[in-house]
Structure 1
């Protein structure tokens, strides 16, 4: 842990969560929410870089970092995570969410707009989840969510997480981070700590990746009712009405131009992999096109703006899924400017 960062376990009516903070800091809360297969440790430098007047906090979601490894009810979408964050009872705050964490805070905004001063989305999961949808409106490929959820996880990667693999084999957490979390080549000063963060991910059907059920629709599996990846399946998680909320705080959308995870051609989308020939039996683009994740997010935010809200999109060139660790100074400047709008 970096100098100046402290970790504390906070017990709420829902769970005991580990929360990072910065020593001696007070002011408006800025709550950082991490993505999948990571923890609050990915936010440390951004927490330290926040200017005076803000109180930086980063929470470990259930099943990650130092928080309780409670099972996740995927039928609620991302609301188990959202409600855990809200149980910290921080009052109105600025929220910053990366990847899956972006979905968590979008859900928080949808359900409790009065508690959000500003929303910063960092390479966020689409408002229509991850996998199993087509077009800008997030049309379901199949009602059961086939093509999304836990069935898309690489079993070898899951096993390496469970075994605490710190090596550099092709499916190790370290290699996945270097290949997909960032845009190669990228040197990370905190690399070993990030690997340790990834390895805190609890594995199993109740956590990562979750359970699956058979499907008659390609690729033959649909998301079950438990676990992390199923929370983002489009039959469980769908925010297609964000523009309808009455109070609309400003939204900042920060993303890397070379993201391979959340992308219109995601290397983790089974439909795109099928199109590339990496997953057999792909039925074709007429019924199973790659999910246009970035296009879907932009369409949702355009509706938000047309209904009286405001958002700004900033794209970092030569940057992958994690601009906050790839371009920390530029990211911090953009974030700080966004916070002043709320």
Structure 2
């Protein structure tokens, strides 16, 4: 699948991964690397890249298992998000980039928590846009402890199979609520907003690599509710909480400035996410929920706030921006407000 682009596209072959990389701005500009989220690709960042202030160079790769990245290279979910952080390190080496400002959205924000832990010397600053909690996604108690040791209910175990099938089929329809187009329009941004480049953005979402080793990945039987646990492959399984060996590792190393931007009405990364089985169980949407003590809704915003408070206590500087009437994608939904905050952050460093 070829994804339309309005920036410069090239293939970059690093030792770990060959992938598509989008760029804009002067070749000698200060590098700003954009990391996309799930159901996404570098394409989602293009307008934001083109609006960067003078003197900056925008770079956005398709992550492993997404977009036009080499489909033969799989995510080893047993490593958590470290395949992604190691890929980014290798990509920067291949492109001759010593360090960069970094911007992550959703899953991409989770990748950058890991990047700051694993390769802090590469990070000039972080702008985290509705990032995944440092403790992963789903099956997580408030303190970050997995509700169950096998991560039951997180990863592929929590993905709607009809949605996964339609995504794999590249279905562009809108007949049911679980069609990818409708899922994007219902929860990834706040209705009634629809991006101007919706068809290109949908194409990028449908380019997600699908299957038991990609999306949604494999699942394993579990003795714990809801009866299935994350398997060993794919990016969603890599986000499972028991795959996060050192979630607060980034708070103990160098402390480049962080800017946290999110929408007040985010339905994906929130303290009551519509994709978290704990939240759905508490709402009565999934039978058999074992109760709040055993499997609470994951307080994703609260977990990130606590982690950033620890970062500040270690000497780091954190800016926080919460946009009203905005969902999971502030840079698409409210580009002017996003640019005001993001550009001021960059220029002030």
* TM superposition score category, shorter chain reference: over 0.9
CA contact (8 A) 1:119 1:252 kept: yes
Matched, 1:281 2:279: no
CA-based RMSD of the aligned residues comes to: 1.2
Counterpart pick for 1:71 among 60, 70, 74: 74
| Alignment pair present for 1:243 and 2:246 | no
Q: Which one of 84, 98, 102 corresponds to residue 81 of structure 1?
A: 84
Matched position secondary structure for 1:189: coil
Q: Secondary structure at the match of 2:57?
A: strand
Query: Which of residues 287, 296, 301 is equivalent to 2:303?
Result: 296
* CA 257–85 in structure 1, closer or farther in 2 if over 3 Å, else same: same
TM-score normalised by the chain length of structure 2? 0.95
Q: Secondary structure at the match of 1:32?
A: strand
Runs of 4+ in 1 over 4 A off after TM superposition: none
Which residue of the partner structure matches residue 274 of structure 2?
267
Alignment equivalent of 1:164, drawn from 162, 170, 173 = 170
More moved, 235-244 vs 198-207: 235-244
Shift of 1:148: 1.0
Deviation string 1:185-212 (CA, Å, 9 cap, x unpaired) is: 1132111111101010011111111111
Q: Which residue of 2 aligns with 1:18?
A: 20
TM-superposed deviation, 1:250:
0.3
Matches within 5 A, 1:142-291: 142-169=148-175, 170-237=177-244, 238-245=246-253, 247-291=254-298
Unaligned runs of 5+ in 2: none
Aligned-pair CA distance for 1:334: 1.0
- 1:235-272, Cα deviation, whole Å (9 max, x unpaired): 11251232211x21000000011011100000000011
8 Å Cα contact 1:242-1:300 kept in structure 2: no
**TM-score (normalised: structure 1):** 0.97
SS at structure 1 position matched to 2:53 = coil
Q: Deviations over 1:157-209 (max 9, x none)?
A: 11111111111121111101100110111132111111101010011111111
Contact 1:116 1:249 in 2 (8 A): yes
Distance 1:188 1:48 in 2: 16
Which position in structure 1 is the counterpart of 2:125? Answer: 118
List aligned pairs for 1:88-127, cutoff 5 A. Answer: 88=91, 89=93, 90-127=97-134
CA contact (8 A) 1:120 1:252 kept: yes
Give the drift of 1:339: 1.5
**Residue equivalent to 2:136:** 129
